[in-house]
Chains A and B, each alone.
Chain A
Amino acid sequence: MKTLVWVEHDNASVKDATLAAVTAAAQLGEVHLIVAGAGCAGVAEQAAKIAGVGKVHLADNAAYEHALAENVAPLIADLMGHHDAFVAPATSNGKNVAPRVAALLDVMQVSDILSVEGPRTFTRPTYAGNAIATVESSDAKLVITVRGTAFAKAETSGGSGTVEAVAGGADAGLSSFVGAEIAKSERPELTSAKVIVSGGRALKDGPTFEQIIFPLADKLGAAVGASRAAVDAGYVPNDYQVGQTGKIVAPEVYIAVGISGAIQHLAGMKDSKTIIAINKDEDAPIFQVADIGLVADLFNAVPELTGKL
């Protein structure tokens, strides 16, 4: 089977989410990549070095700069004439583009796969991860999105792919990019961090959240996350949110501070290797999934912990 993997990038470098999608695709067969963007030749060079990669299709065109689905989906649908499966990471771009490709190909997409069970059989989470479905596709071609935390990351070196330019199509003229507010942070990205410190509603307000959570995260070189309650209360922006409707994470160590452990939140972090919970309510549901729990007032315990590390 020949697969075509969507390379997630910012026109400068390959994003980690790509690597898990490559691992999933490699379980299906040959791995080819599509780098669609503007001024992104460097991304293609980098992508060609990913272990196990064959051809890298480079579509370098102003119409693809912001990965607008209206422009990118027809390009991929065209390339799918020579591939059997389109595999995208379940990032916001992947989730935006893949179903549009699927409909153009008259294929029912398999979303957010957790494992490859056979050439056309996959497991995927439903009901916020409360039920895992094993599904088999009967479509001639496959369109798949991949949950990043469920697959190991492919090595970023050792590959010897060849970059091949694809003639890009014109701008569909249906949509245009206006602007973005992308948070800049010195800390690691949530979805690829080894350690995450997350705060909940118990943090009271934005300044308190920063004062308590940020120093601990910085001491550990960790990314900062938050529960939906903390985001909805306006302590931190929405891109901090971990949970069913936020980011799905699975770091080595997840430290939940003042988070009660709503199902919604657990759905986003329960695959973390070690979960540590600090909460003053010893009956909080978070302790039912935590490997290490500390029942304490976070306003005393967290600064003390930061000081002792």
Chain B
Amino acid sequence: MKILVPVKRVIDYNVKPRVKADGTGVDLANVKMSMNPFDEIAVEEAIRLKEKGVATEIVAVSVGPAKAQETLRTALAMGADRAILVQTDDEVEPLGVAKILKGIADEEQPGLVVLGKQAIDDDSNQTGQMLAALMGRPQGTFASKVEVEGDSVSVTREVDGGLETVKLALPAIVTTDLRLNEPRYASLPNIMKAKSKPLATKSPADYGVDTAPRLKTLKVSEPPVRQAGIKVADVDALVAKLKELGVA
């Protein structure tokens, strides 16, 4: 079985984003970029399925600028077999990405598509569900456990009240949550090896997808800042404050 793993190049999760002074977006110039952490978990899960003998080939895909090649090389260094970059300098919304991924899935015929539940830049949490709809296939979102059994996959999902398990017919789409696994670091020899793994470059037009945005960003601003309040000296003072607030 082939696994398709879409990955996104985003601002590194350790970097605090700064809103541009003119309110047009977040300043990404000279900012460290990395693979979206949820997508790293997706790559790791695909590799584990390959190590278990469930998967035979892992294809990493990214939709983004030329530099997204670096993100794909990271996936290859972790253990993906080959990569496809759908290169564009435009910002592509989740719906556009899902349409491109549908085109790739039509060509590649994967048994599973595993991707992050959301990207930590736009926080949309849409692409996997949209891809599942476009492919007419089932979705296992917010996965904390994935088990392939014959022609189906069992997915344990993190839901509001706890956990829920669903069984999906393959091919299926799985989106990853944080507790699914802890991604490995790529070793130096594997980083070297990844440089010679195949990486194909395509364009959205190759899949007949119009990526013109449907949402127009009118403004981006900083959230309201909370001011630090007072410090109380001891528990008695805190009890008095809680009484003032009417909760004690």
Q: Which A residues are closer than 8 A to B by beta carbons?
A: 66, 68-70, 73, 91-93, 95-104, 106-112, 121, 125-139, 172-183, 191, 194-195, 219-220, 228, 232, 237-239, 245, 247, 252-253, 263, 270, 274-276, 278, 282, 287-296, 301, 304-305, 308-309
Asked if B167 and A138 sit within 8 Å, CB to CB, the answer is no
Q: Is the CB of B125 within 8 A of A287?
A: no
Question: Out of A92, A104, A130, which one reaches B133, CB within 8 Å?
Answer: A104
- With contact pairs A99-B129, A121-B218 given, residues A107 and B95 touching in the complex (Cβ less than 8 Å): yes
A/B interface sample: 16 pairs, CB < 8 A: A66-B166, A91-B160, A95-B125, A97-B129, A110-B215, A111-B123, A126-B123, A130-B16, A133-B220, A138-B214, A177-B165, A228-B178, A238-B144, A287-B231, A288-B228, A294-B237
B176 to nearest A CB, angstroms?
A: 11
Partner of A126, one of B121, B159, B168: B121
B157 contacts the other chain (CB 8 A)? yes
- What would 14 more interface pairs be, CB under 8 Å, given A127-B120, A131-B25? A99-B128, A102-B126, A103-B129, A125-B123, A126-B220, A133-B217, A133-B219, A134-B221, A136-B215, A173-B169, A175-B139, A176-B167, A292-B232, A309-B248
A232 to B182, CA, bound (A): 11
Q: Which of A110, A130, A136, A176 contacts B17 (CB 8 A)?
A: A130
Q: A70, A126, A178, A253: which contacts B154 (Cβ < 8 A)?
A: A178
A182 vs B134: C-alpha distance when bound (angstroms): 31
With known contacts A102-B130, A131-B221, A181–B236 Cβ distance under 8 A = no
The number of residue pairs between A and B whose CB atoms lie closer than 8 Å in the complex comes to 249
| Cα–Cα, bound, A143→B58 (Å) | 33
Q: Are B160 and A92 in contact (CB under 8 A)?
A: yes
Asked if A252 and B247 make an inter-chain contact with CB atoms under 8 angstroms apart, the answer reads yes
Closest chain B CB from A288 CB (angstroms): 5
Complex interface: chain A residues within 8 A of B239 (CB): 305, 308-309
List the B residue with the shortest CB-CB distance to A247.
Answer: B160
Partner of A125, one of B94, B215, B223, B236: B223
Cβ of A137 and Cβ of B238 under 8 Å apart?
A: no
The residues of B that contact A275 with a CB separation of less than 8 Å are: 226, 229
Chain A residues lying within 8 Å of B126, measured Cβ to Cβ, are: 99, 102, 109, 111
Query: Among residues 137 to 157 in chain B, which have CB atoms less than 8 Å away from a CB atom of chain A?
Result: 137-142, 144, 154, 157
Q: Is A301 in contact with B235, judged by CB distance below 8 angstroms? A: yes
| B231 contacts across to A, CB distance below 8 A | 282, 287, 292-295
User: Chain B contacts of A104 at CB under 8 A?
Assistant: 133
B245 at the binding interface (Cβ < 8 Å): yes
- A239-B160 CB under 8 A given contacts A104-B133, A195-B247: yes
Residues in chain B near residue A252, CB distance under 8 A = 245, 247
| Cβ-neighbour of B247 out of A127, A177, A220, A290 (below 8 A) | A220
Tell me, rounded to whole Å, the shortest Cβ–Cβ distance linking A200 to chain B: 17
B161 at the interface (CB under 8 A from A): yes
- Is the Cβ of A99 less than 8 Å from the Cβ of B130? yes
Q: Are B168 and A175 in contact (CB under 8 A)?
A: yes
A253–B247 alpha-carbon span in the complex (Å)? 8
Q: Are A92 and B125 in contact (CB under 8 A)?
A: no
Q: Which residues of A contact B25 (CB under 8 A)?
A: 131
Binding site for A on B (CB under 8 A): 11, 16-17, 19, 25-26, 93-95, 98, 120-134, 137-142, 144, 154, 157-169, 177-179, 213-223, 226, 228-232, 234-239, 241-242, 245, 247-248
Bound-state Cα–Cα, A106 to B95, Å: 8
Given contact pairs A130-B17, A131-B17, A92 touches B215 in the complex (Cβ within 8 A):
no
Could you tell me if B215 and A174 are in contact, using CB atoms closer than 8 angstroms?
no
Q: Name the 3 nearest CB pairs between A and B, nearest first.
A: A291-B229, A99-B129, A108-B214
- State whether A129 touches B160 (Cβ < 8 A): no
**Measured between alpha carbons, how far is A112 from B139 in the docked complex, in Å?**
20
Most chain-B Cβ atoms within 10 A of its Cβ — which of A103, A139, A172, A174? A103
Q: Given the complex, which residues of A lie within 8 Å of B94, measured CB to CB?
A: 99, 108-109
How far is it, in angstroms, between the C-alpha of A305 and the C-alpha of B218 when the chains are bound?
48
**B residues near A276, Cβ cutoff 8 Å:** 238, 241-242
CB distance from A114 to the nearest CB of B (A): 9
Query: A293–B98 contact, CB under 8 A?
Result: no
Q: Which residues on A sit within 8 Å (CB–CB) of B166?
A: 66, 68, 175-178
| Cα distance, A278 to B233, chains bound together (Å) | 11
From A99, A107, A176, contact of B214 by CB (8 A): A107
- A179-B214 Cα distance, complex, nearest whole Å: 38
CB pair A304 B235 closer than 8 Å: yes
Inter-chain contact A289/B228, CB cutoff 8 Å:
yes
- Tell me, rounded to whole Å, the shortest Cβ–Cβ distance linking A119 to chain B: 14
A178 pairs with B165, CB closer than 8 A: yes
Q: Are B134 and A103 in contact (CB under 8 A)?
A: yes
Of chain A, the residue at the smallest CB distance from B215 is: A135
Query: A10: nearest residue on chain B (CB-CB)?
Result: B161
Residues of A within 8 A of B222 (CB): 130-132
The residues of B that contact A309 with a CB separation of less than 8 Å are 239, 242, 248
Minimal Cβ-Cβ distance residue in B for A301: B235
